[in-house]
Amino acid sequence: MDKTYNHKEVEEKIYQQWEERGTFKPEINPDGKPFTIILPPPNANGDLHFGHAMFVVEDILVRYHRMLGDSTLWLPGTDHAGTETQFVFEKKLQEQGKSRFDFSREELYEKVKEYVDKNRGGIQNQLRKLGFSLDWSREKYTLDADIVKIVIETFRRMYDDGLIYRDYRLVNYCTRDGTSFSDLETISQEKEGNLYYIKYPVKEGGFITVATTRPETLYGDVAVMVHPKDVRYKHLIGKTVLLPLTQREIPIIADESVEKDFGTGAVKVTPSHDFTDFEVGRKHNLSFPPIIGWNGKFEKTGIVDGLYAKQAREKTVELLKEKGLLEKEEIHKMVIKVCYKCKTILEPLPLEQWYVRVQSLKEKAIEVVKNGEIKITPNSFVKPYIDWLEGLRDWNISRQNVWGIRIPVWYELEHETDFAVSFLDQKGNYHQGLLNELLGQGFSFDEIALGLQRVIARIEAKVVLEEEKDPKKKYLPETDTFDTWFSSGQWPFAVLMANSDCKNADGFFEKFYPTSVMETAYDILRAWVSRMVMLGIYRTGKIPFRQVLFHGLVNDPYGKKMSKSKGNVVNPLELIEQYGADAVRFALVYGNATGADQSLSYTKLEAARKFTNKLWNMARFIEMKRLELKITFFTDHSVGNLKKVNTNEFDQKWIKKVEDLTIEISKYIDSYQFNLASEKLYDFVWHEFADKYIEETKTNPDGLIVLESLFVIILKLLHPFMPFVTEEIYQKIPGHDGMLITAIWPDFRE
């Protein structure tokens, strides 16, 4: 053995051996009990970050169960990440002085695809650097044809079962990214704004003062609303006011939803630009066209057209002051919603979207956790899971992105629509000539696409796939794509179903589904975990996994969340280069309770690196003594042989210590207490085995025979945590065949 351990010379070589010998495949133990983990799919366009490095928890479980003799499957994949990937790609276009509006839908899709395809291989190689023993032969991607087919089939079934419907309602719309978002994908921010008190002239004389934070939307008002029991305004209910600056007449209505103590107790109702007002408008049969366009600029007001919201507010307030209609302004704290990607303030805008009816789905998803079919660890996340689902509203799955799985809906044209028919062919592709003409007239691509949306709004929706269309009829395609969570929410069953369609895969799905553990970061409990449970139960009739295991987030050394904008992102690959993958893996679980956040600790990294060197030095000592004393060591390092040949009290003492250690480590891993397992291993190996046992055997050469066999057991216990150095050492010890990764976990039972 070399004098020092060099991780740079070992890790790539060892990983290549594991792959070449097929050790990551469940077929290694074909008759074992199935144990399955589906890797949470990283974004195909991304690079490795510490969220991915924390999947070391999954690798610990997978390696442990493989050594127990289980038929162990850890199935990898990547996610196309619709909105996120398009956002990243558009930033790159901006750096080139371009935007998405410079390309047709087909051109933009192909450019994003080309970009993603170049980056997809990078994340796999980075995961290999950490030693993750994934079955790469079964890797899947959310845009693989077989995965898309399964996702679309789920959509069709849900549509037929009445669980998917189309509705015209307000959505959280990002005018910068050009798409809507569900409530889950918005960020609420508290900010200091103003409360404006505006006098609305009553037609019969006098004024009613309305308090609002958004005076600029008054051009879209349909009513002034008061509480029916508010004595101040009872005499005005049913009368009309003249909308300030426009003189359009709107009614004064009563509704119990008004808070009498807020502002003046009178509020403006703008259904096209406020979620609460939208429901009020439906209730009272009041509506008005939107006055804010998809580009974020005002339109159809005749006063603030072409201005963005902030500019329109300033001009509106100025005009109100000039006409004596602004009573006063007050500082007011309020909560705004911003886009989770670009932080643009989201506009509530009306749009036809596809929704999932969640009531029956969430009831079952709650039930399986309450009755223990799915266990959540740490237990503290059970309540947030249930609370989130209980408050869940119908789920908007439409996204106005180009990148993603297009919603498989075609709209049958009952009447000839020249614009629609000339614009799209029967395959749903744009006629490039007309598209270029419209772009040349100043229309953006998004404006053209949304023009289609308005055409589609007047057409009865029918779910028809390409092969089901009647060649005698004309159709328009849905241009929206699925919310990425709709496809990734089907990931556990979709990847197993897709692999079941492969050759020699009979019974594959039935064997490995439901999966054993879903291990992921707690921050996607709502976005992903809850949806996997809902969709998994719906599609398969079974839970998607038996256990949910959450890991915490890795913050920078000062406890701050890592962020590119803050400039405090630490690349785990750089740490692997410096300290070795084993040290990085060990430092991430050592001293950190399951589910808890942690700060990146260079002290722990250095300690873990020294620990790998300690193991190497222990192995070198044993090897040198073997060669020096020419002792005949065991050729069988099994526990059974160890106990059979041993007789002296000294050896018995240390065999018992290692037996107790094995039982304790097994218990900790079974209960997901990886921190306690790693701490116990570190303390025992360094302070018991090295400092005491090895020192004692230096004066008792006969004890070296048992010591080596116990050291092999130590390597097995450490292997799930530090696979590279333990594998390298194991292969240099005579007396065994094969590799440590496929060795049997120590069992001291008689």
Judge whether residue 567 has pLDDT over 90: no
Token pair of 455 as six digits: 């055409």
What is the pLDDT averaged over residues 519-543? 95
Give 346-404 pLDDT, tens digit per residue: 999 988 889 999 999 999 999 999 999 999 999 999 999 999 999 999 999 999 889 99
Token pair of 561 as six digits: 């969340």
Judge whether residue 28 has pLDDT over 70: yes
Judge whether residue 434 has pLDDT over 70: no
Residue 431's pLDDT band (boundaries 50, 70, 90)? low
Question: Is pLDDT larger for residue 136 or for residue 464?
Answer: 136
pLDDT of residue 438: 57
What is the pLDDT averaged over residues 704-726? 94
pLDDT of residue 603: 94
Give 182-197 pLDDT, tens digit per residue: 777 788 889 999 999 9
- Three-state secondary-structure class, residue 194: strand
Average pLDDT taken over every residue of the chain: 88
Residue 418's pLDDT band (boundaries 50, 70, 90)? very low
Instruction: Choose among 185, 160, 540, 538: nearest CA to 395.
Output: 185
What is the pLDDT averaged over residues 171-181? 85
What is the pLDDT averaged over residues 156-177? 90
Lowest average pLDDT, out of 557-571, 653-667, 668-682, goes to 557-571
The CATH H-level superfamily of 181-348 is Valyl/Leucyl/Isoleucyl-tRNA synthetase, editing domain (3.90.740.10)
| % residues pLDDT > 70 (the chain) | 89
- Classify strands 179-181 and 34-38 as parallel, antiparallel or unpaired: unpaired
Judge whether residue 517 has pLDDT over 70: yes
pLDDT of residue 737: 72
| % residues pLDDT > 90 (the chain) | 64
Lowest average pLDDT, out of 143-152, 331-340, 468-477, 729-738, goes to 468-477
pLDDT of residue 416: 46
Token pair of 528 as six digits: 């992903």
Q: Domains of the chain: which residue ranges?
A: 181-348, 410-479, 600-742
Residue 582's pLDDT band (boundaries 50, 70, 90)? very high
Q: What is the pTM of this model?
A: 0.87
What is the pLDDT averaged over residues 175-181? 83
Judge whether residue 501 has pLDDT over 80: no
Token pair of 569 as six digits: 């992102």
Judge whether residue 638 has pLDDT over 90: no
The residue type at 575: L
Residues contacting residue 589 through CB under 8 Å, at least 6 positions apart: 56, 57, 60, 674, 675, 677, 678, 721
Q: Is the CATH number of domain 600-742 3.90.950.10?
A: no
Give 45-96 pLDDT, tens digit per residue: 877 788 789 999 999 999 999 999 999 999 999 999 988 888 889 888 989 9
What is the pLDDT averaged over residues 18-36? 96
For residue 189, the cross-strand partners are: 336
Judge whether residue 337 has pLDDT over 70: yes
Query: Is the backbone of residue 521 left (phi > 0), alpha (psi -120 to 50) or beta?
Result: beta
pLDDT of residue 436: 61
Question: Is pLDDT larger for residue 591 or for residue 571?
Answer: 591
Lowest average pLDDT, out of 55-69, 142-156, 303-317, 415-429, goes to 415-429
| Distance from C-alpha of 177 to C-alpha of 400, rounded to nearest angstrom | 9
Residue 85 and residue 143 in contact, taking contact as beta carbons nearer than 8 Å: no
Instruction: Choose among 5, 80, 69, 224: nearest CA to 741.
Output: 69
Instruction: Choose among 11, 47, 68: nearest CA to 722.
Output: 11
Lowest average pLDDT, out of 283-287, 388-392, 638-642, goes to 638-642
Residue 460's pLDDT band (boundaries 50, 70, 90)? low
Write the DSSP symbol of residue 196.
Answer: E
pLDDT of residue 74: 98
Write the DSSP symbol of residue 393.
Answer: P
CA atoms within 13 A on the CB side of 263: 29
Judge whether residue 146 has pLDDT over 50: yes
- CA angle, residues 264, 266, 268, in degrees to nearest 5: 125
